[in-house]
Amino acid sequence: RYDCFFLWVDVSVSVLYDYLSKRVDQMMESGMFEELASFYNPRNSRSTIRTGIHRAIGVPEFDRYFGVYPPEKRHNVFEWDQARKAAYEEAVHEIKDNTWRLAKKQIERIMMLRSSGWEIHRLD
């Protein structure tokens, strides 16, 4: 119905994976952990219903972590024991894995649109 021009900015898989991993690290360093702590609600924690904010990146991944280590007003990473650090790292790793899955899904959707006749121009 409209005259459109679609561009797909693409990179190699290894570059994309490295970028996504670094991006998650940057988000954590810039306050994502504190933001996730503010969304945590123990009553909704183990719920299988994931709608609204509970589908946002990081919220489901940190539910288990906050269930064991409830959010604190002041947290000091340097005072955490090994188990708590490991739980934190596991949650961050899950965020990275889920972000990668989302990126792969988006690429699959682009490929599906291309194969169904959409004219999508790929830029490397």
| Cα distance from N-terminal residue to C-terminal residue, the chain | 28
Could you list the residue range(s) of the whole structural domain that residue 114 is in? 6-122
Closest by alpha carbon to 103, among 33, 28, 4, 11?
A: 11
Diameter of the chain measured on Cα atoms: 60
In a domain, 1, yes or no: no
Rg of the chain's alpha carbons, rounded to an integer? Answer: 18
* Structural domains counted in the chain: 1
Q: Hey, which residues does 6 pair with through a beta bridge?
A: 120
In a domain, 21, yes or no: yes
80 confidence band (pLDDT: 50, 70, 90): confident
pLDDT in tens, 2-44: 888 899 999 999 999 999 999 999 999 999 999 988 888 776 6
Distance, CA of 71 to CA of 68 (rounded, Å): 10
CATH code, domain carrying 57: 1.10.287.890
**Which pair of tokens denotes residue 30?**
């810039």
Task: Report the pLDDT averaged over residues 95-122.
Answer: 95
Distance, CA of 50 to CA of 105 (rounded, Å): 19
In a domain, 93, yes or no: yes
pLDDT above 60 for 48: no
